[in-house]
Amino acid sequence: MNTADLFQGTDGYLIAGVDEVGRGPLAGDVVAAAVILGSTAPEGLTDSKALSESRRITLAERIRTDALCWALGRASVEEIDALNILQASLLAMHRAVEALAVQPTLVLVDGNRLPTWPYESRAIVKGDLTEPAISAASILAKVARDREMMELDRQYAGYGFARHKGYPTKAHLAALERLGVSRIHRRSFGPVKRLLAHPEVR
């Protein structure tokens, strides 16, 4: 793809959209994606949570094929526990943008906080509903993290990660009490912290 085909916004800026997935779960990494779209955006881009799993997967394939460039970033469970989930999410977004093969001139970030970085950028609340590049990032991050949690479900049988993706559902909390805390659980999160502090509750 040549420079004439680049997706450019107001004032000719090369726009990257950034979003993260996985702030709420009790287990697993937080994953971010950064996307610079091509000359046209795939139809149907929106917040990944508003799409069916099959539609997300289809759109993710289109985004990976048609985007000018895209990249993933992450913060590990250990980093989440050390930094807190907000700072870990910002770190994951920073890593995603740094991994882009083409550096953007404007970065649009979903939410109300920006990482500390040298890029011109804007935080947009609910940007995954209004900005195609952010929607695309939301979809890539969601599909990537869901696949990781399905793989972890095979490694850590019994917790139900393939179903709830680490979120604190009743089934997940019951499995935690039954099986105890695994290596991929976030020890700084309330339900996990309480179980570690009072293992006799199990």
pLDDT band of 2, cuts 50, 70, 90: very low
CATH class of 3-156: alpha beta
Q: What pLDDT score does 10 carry?
A: 47
Phi-psi region at 34: left, alpha or beta (left = phi > 0; alpha = psi -120 to 50): beta
Domain extent listing, the chain: 3-156
Report CA-CA distances (Å) from 50 to 64, 98, 129, 131, 145: 20, 28, 9, 15, 16
> Which of these, 93, 33, 109, 95, lies nearest to 64 by C-alpha position?
33
**Residue-wise pLDDT tens digits, 40-57:** 888 999 989 899 999 999
**Residue-wise pLDDT tens digits, 103-160:** 999 999 999 999 999 999 999 999 999 999 999 999 999 999 999 999 999 999 999 9
pTM, full prediction = 0.90
**3-state SS, residue 34:** strand
Mean pLDDT of the chain: 92
